[in-house]
Copies of this chain bind each other. A is one copy, B any other.
Amino acid sequence: MPKSFSFKIHASQGKARTGALKTRRGDIRTPAFMPVGTAATVKAMLPESVRETGADILLGNTYHLMLRPGAERIARLGGLHRFMNWQRPILTDSGGFQVMSLNELRKLTEEGVSFKSHVDGSLHHLTPERSIEIQRLLDSDITMCFDECTPFPATEGQAARSMRLSMRWAQRSRDAFGERDDHLIFGIQQGSTFRDLRAESADALRRIGFDGYAIGGLAVGEGQKAMFEVLDYAPDMLPADRPRYLMGVGKPDDIVGAVQRGVDMFDCVLPSRSGRTGQALTRRGAVNIKNARHRDDPRPLDEECTCPACRNYSRAYLHHVFRAQEIISSMLLTWHNLHYYQQLMAGLRDAIAKGQLDDFVADFHALRAQGDIEPL
C-alpha cells in the first residue's frame, strides 16, 4: 500500500473487525457502507447531504460514466470528485458487472467485452487495460480489477473457467495499473459457491498482490443462506491486514451477517433505489409508504431516527408526496434510507470497538422481529 495510505484495525470481536482505511482524501471508517453514485450523482441527493448521513466514500460506476458523459471528458473537467462535488474518497467498479447485467448485445472474449451503448447504440470495447485507464481518468481513489462476475447458478466447471479468466484479467489489471502513490487497486475473488475455487482465486490474487480484496460473485441470486455459507470461509482466505469488500451487498441483515464474518466494506443501490420506489428501511424493517394505512398517520417513519424525513415529516406527508409523484418523496426517503444504513454501520463499528457485537446483533434482530410500528 502506498505511503499516504494505511489500513488499521482498531478492534476485533470474533471475525468482525473495526478500523479505518486512511486515504489522502480522508478516512474510511470500517465496516463502511458506500452509497452508489452511478452517473456522478447519488440519485435524489446533494453530495453534502450524503456526507451528512455519515458516508466516508462513494462508489462510481465505470460503465455508466464511460458512456455518458465519457471518462476523457470528466478528466478534462478535473476528475470525478470535482465534477460531482464530492471531495472525499471514491471507489469505482470496473464496468464488468454492468456490461454483463445491463447489456444484452455483448460479446465476451479472452481480450475483454464488446457491447453496444444503451445511451446511443455506439460500439464499445472494455478490456482490463481500458477499464483501468478509465478509472485513472476518473481519478478514482480505489480502482477495481476488471473481472467477470460469474452468473448464478454455475456448474463447477463453468465457475472455474470464469474465475480463471478473471484471474488472468486481474493480472492484466494489476499490470496496467502499475505503481501509483496516490491510488489503490483492489483484486476481486471469484469462484461462485465452490470453496476450492474461492481458495484458488484468493491464492492467485495474493500472488499478484493488491491493496485490498473484494469478494465478488455473491448476491447474484444464491440467497442469504448460500451467501453466508461462502462468507463462512471466503474472507478468511484473504489477507487479514487488508480491507475486504463484499460487492453489491446488501440488505441490512446481509450486512450484519457479513460483518460478523469479517467483511469491512459494502456497496448497494438498495437504500437509494428503495427510496425512489416508496420503501423506507428502518430498524423495524421495511415500510411501504404508499400503503393507505399511512394516509392519516401523524407519526414519523421512525420516532428515534434523526434524519430530516423523520425529524420534520409525518408518514401522512410522505404518503401524500409519494402518491402525488413529487420529487421530494425520493429526496426524503433516500435520505432516510442512507441515514439508516450509516447509523447501522456506526452501530456495528461501535459495538465491535466495545466488544458488544453479540448484544448489538441480538437487539438488531429482536427489533426487526417486532415489525413495523402498529397501525394507529
Known: A84-B317, A85-B312, A313-B85. A43 touches B327 (CB 8 A): yes
Instruction: Encode contact with B along A299-333: 1 for CB under 8 Å, 0 otherwise.
Output: 00000000010001110110111011011101100
Is B331's CB under 8 angstroms from A327's CB? Answer: yes
Residues of B within 8 A of A328 (CB): 41, 43-46
Known: A39-B321, A327-B331. A316 touches B84 (CB 8 A): no
Known: A46-B308, A327-B327, A331-B46. A316 touches B69 (CB 8 A): yes
Does A77 sit at the interface, judged by CB under 8 A? yes
The chain B residue sitting closest to A76, CB to CB, is: B296
Size range of the chain A interface in the assembly: 35 or more
Residues of B within 8 A of A85 (CB): 312-313, 317
Is A321's CB under 8 angstroms from B41's CB? Answer: yes
Interface residues of A in 33-79 (CB under 8 A from B): 39-41, 43-46, 68-69, 73, 76-78
Give, as a whole number of angstroms, the nearest-CB distance from A274 to chain B: 15
The chain B residue sitting closest to A327, CB to CB, is: B44
Is B73's CB under 8 angstroms from A323's CB? Answer: no
Is B39's CB under 8 angstroms from A326's CB? Answer: yes
Residues of B within 8 A of A69 (CB): 295, 316, 319-320, 323
Instruction: Encode contact with B along A318-357: 1 for CB under 8 Å, 0 otherwise.
Output: 0111011011101100000000000000000000000000
The docked-state distance in angstroms from the alpha carbon of A321 to that of B40 is 8
Is B314's CB under 8 angstroms from A83's CB? Answer: yes
The docked-state distance in angstroms from the alpha carbon of A69 to that of B319 is 9
Residues of B within 8 A of A83 (CB): 314, 316-317, 320
Residues of B within 8 A of A153 (CB): none
Residues of B within 8 A of A321 (CB): 39-41
Is A77's CB under 8 angstroms from B298's CB? Answer: yes
Give, as a whole number of angstroms, the nearest-CB distance from A305 to chain B: 15
Known: A39-B321, A321-B39. A314 touches B77 (CB 8 A): yes
Give, as a whole number of angstroms, the nearest-CB distance from A142 to chain B: 22
Instruction: Encode contact with B along A73-93: 1 for CB under 8 Å, 0 otherwise.
Output: 100111000011100000000
Give, as a whole number of angstroms, the nearest-CB distance from A84 to chain B: 7
Is A43's CB under 8 angstroms from B326's CB? Answer: yes
The docked-state distance in angstroms from the alpha carbon of A327 to that of B319 is 19
Residues of B within 8 A of A327 (CB): 41, 43-44, 327, 330-331
The chain B residue sitting closest to A324, CB to CB, is: B39
A-B contact pairs, 26 of them (CB 8 A): A39-B324, A41-B321, A41-B326, A41-B328, A43-B327, A43-B328, A44-B328, A45-B328, A68-B320, A68-B323, A68-B324, A69-B295, A69-B316, A69-B320, A73-B295, A73-B316, A77-B296, A77-B316, A78-B298, A83-B314, A83-B316, A83-B317, A84-B317, A85-B312, A85-B313, A327-B330
